[in-house]
């Protein structure tokens, strides 16, 4: 099993403080506009860029391949009013257990902007767990570099991977431990790929040899042409998905080639052909995302970063699609085994398409996590209907501690006297069927809840996490 991300830490970043986001095979970020979903993804993008090496300003403010600068640049990373930010992640590689090397590694970076922009801390902590429970057992601080020992504004991690010869380290176990840990973190972070299809860029002829999908999917036609030739089963799956998306009959996906070898996507509809320049934005965006997911993330343009298990990040998965059609992409996400997938949404239809087993659940009790909230800590809320009846209550806005990611699913707020009629609720993320069951069974409980773990020892197969709205005091000019 290749190294993979299991946790993103937003210790101090934009609208977040001391927030932890677990990452599974499929991770869904749910929240309203400007609630911080994009800020969380920016932190992952920043870590990925830093892992490339180079001066921190150049890395975050400059371009990376066909990507522009980090959203907001380095100046937008600290929380409002601050001049430092800190982010980190956890990476696991269960295969290391066989040789008693670190099965999980925590990596954290802190950056200061004034008086000069520099990295003031870089640390790696290794965990010696088992293949089934990588982040367990003893842990050691295997790397810590403070500003006094640093001669440049670049992190050390890439150098530990690129310039260390393991053959010369045989017998030096501490050095090998550091080398393998750095390699796992380096590999996982460099595999992060943000897919942001831009339909108007897909409507032109593109060189036929440009066959690895770019961030904007501008070369979609060439990628599909390559899929048609080298992976016919995947091509026919794309055709089937495209047919089921539109109401009119599509008989085939065709590739129109120019005399110069350029190619353009087209749809055969009976006797007529609809080229990419005439297709709708929603259809082009769907085909770009579907092509990537059907290809299991192995057709991504990662530059020289050819990895077996990348992490695919998609903002607003359902963008441009009718609510009844969004579930098609969700099915493809759930069928993806060659890559981790992280996507954001604020679509109730997409959430309704998630089955109860798709949610992170309390493994012991097999139900959604919930806890009672003391009356003096009752958050603001939008009340649910007084009489639920047979209908499903609507999902309420998630109000939590500003800038946090919580494992709590349902907050039940009751007065001290236990008067059921005065019970109010706050939903952060929950399957609506489970919510109905919990509301029907709502009764005073004397059992104190167990505290939620900081991070699962193994990643969940899929998880749905709510990003709580930030208060005005915690907002940042780069909030999204």
- The answer to whether residue 166 scores a pLDDT higher than 60 is yes
What mean pLDDT comes out for the span 342-357?
77
Q: What angle do CA 202, 204, 209 make, to 5 degrees?
A: 85
Domains of the chain plus CATH, in order, are: 4-193+470-474 (3.40.50), 195-301 (no CATH)
What mean pLDDT comes out for the span 169-182?
83
Give the pLDDT of residue 281.
Answer: 95
What integer best gives the mean pLDDT of the chain? 75
- The answer to whether residue 64 scores a pLDDT higher than 90 is no
Helices of type H across 311-405 = 326-334, 348-352
Tens digit of each residue's pLDDT (9 = 90 or more) over 248-283: 789 999 999 999 999 999 999 988 999 999 999 999
Give the pLDDT of residue 59.
Answer: 85
Give the pLDDT of residue 147.
Answer: 53
- CA atoms of 465 and 38, how far apart (whole Å): 13
Q: pTM of the predicted model, to two decimals?
A: 0.75
What mean pLDDT comes out for the span 54-76?
82
What mean pLDDT comes out for the span 181-199?
92
Please count the other Cβ atoms lying within 10 Å of the Cβ belonging to residue 343. 23
Give the pLDDT of residue 56.
Answer: 86
Query: SS3 of 5, please?
Result: strand
Give the pLDDT of residue 354.
Answer: 73
- CA atoms of 24 and 462, how far apart (whole Å): 5
What mean pLDDT comes out for the span 399-422?
37
Using N-to-C axis directions, what is the helix angle for 281-294 and 232-245, rounded to 10°?
A: 150
What mean pLDDT comes out for the span 115-122?
88
User: How crowded is the C-beta side of 1, counted as CA atoms within 13 Å?
Assistant: 19
Tens digit of each residue's pLDDT (9 = 90 or more) over 351-374: 777 776 666 544 443 433 333 334
In angstroms, the Cα distances linking 148 to 51, 138, 438 are: 21, 29, 54
Please count the other Cβ atoms lying within 10 Å of the Cβ belonging to residue 269. 14
Q: What percent of the chain has pLDDT over 70?
A: 69
Give the pLDDT of residue 306.
Answer: 58
End-to-end CA distance of the chain: 34
Give the pLDDT of residue 290.
Answer: 95
């Amino acid at each position: 099993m290749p190294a993979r991300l299991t946790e993103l830490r937003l210790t101090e970043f934009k609208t977040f403080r001391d927030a932890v986001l677990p990452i599974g095979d499929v991770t869904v970020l749910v929240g309203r506009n400007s609630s911080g979903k994009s800020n969380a993804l920016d932190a992952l993008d920043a870590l990925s860029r830093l892992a490339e090496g180079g001066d921190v300003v150049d890395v975050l403010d400059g371009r990376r391949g066909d990507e522009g600068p980090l959203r907001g640049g380095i100046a937008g990373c600290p929380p409002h009013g601050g001049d430092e930010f800190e982010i980190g992640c956890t990476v696991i590689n269960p295969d290391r257990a066989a040789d008693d090397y670190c099965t999980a590694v925590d990596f954290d970076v802190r950056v200061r902007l004034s008086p000069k922009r520099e990295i003031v801390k870089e640390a790696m902590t290794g965990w010696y767990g088992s293949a089934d429970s990588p982040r367990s057992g003893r842990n050691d601080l295997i790397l810590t570099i403070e500003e006094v020992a640093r001669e440049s504004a670049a992190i050390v991690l890439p150098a530990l991977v690129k310039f260390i010869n393991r053959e010369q380290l045989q017998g030096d176990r501490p050095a090998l431990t550091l080398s393998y840990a750095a390699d796992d973190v380096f590999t996982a972070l460099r595999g992060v790929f943000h897919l942001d299809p831009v339909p108007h860029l897909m409507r032109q002829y593109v060189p036929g040899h440009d066959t690895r999908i770019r961030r904007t999917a501008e070369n979609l036609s060439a990628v599909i042409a390559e899929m048609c030739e080298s992976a016919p089963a995947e091509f026919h799956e794309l055709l089937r998905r495209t047919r089921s998306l539109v109401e009119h009959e599509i008989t085939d996906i065709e590739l129109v080639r120019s005399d110069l070898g350029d190619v353009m996507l087209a749809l055969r509809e009976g006797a007529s052909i609809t080229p990419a320049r005439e297709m709708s934005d929603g259809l082009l965006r769907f085909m770009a995302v579907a092509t990537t997911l059907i290809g299991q993330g192995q057709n991504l343009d990662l530059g020289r970063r050819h990895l077996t298990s990348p992490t695919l990040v998609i903002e607003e998965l359902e963008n441009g699609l009718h609510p009844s059609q969004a579930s098609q992409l969700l099915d493809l996400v759930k069928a993806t085994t060659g890559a981790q997938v992280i996507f954001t949404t604020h679509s109730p239809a997409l959430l309704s398409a998630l089955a109860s087993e798709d949610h992170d659940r309390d493994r012991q009790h097999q139900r959604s996590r919930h806890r009672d909230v003391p009356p003096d800590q009752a958050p603001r809320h939008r009340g649910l209907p007084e009489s639920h009846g047979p209908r499903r209550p609507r999902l309420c806005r998630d109000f939590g501690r500003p800038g946090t990611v919580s494992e709590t699913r349902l907050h039940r707020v009751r007065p001290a006297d236990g008067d059921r009629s005065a019970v109010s609720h706050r939903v952060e993320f929950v399957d609506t069927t489970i919510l109905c069951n919990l509301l029907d069974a709502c009764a005073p409980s004397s059992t104190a809840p167990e505290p939620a773990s900081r991070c699962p020892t193994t990643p969940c197969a899929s998880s749905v996490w709510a990003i709580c709205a930030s208060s005005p005091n915690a907002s940042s000019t780069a909030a999204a």
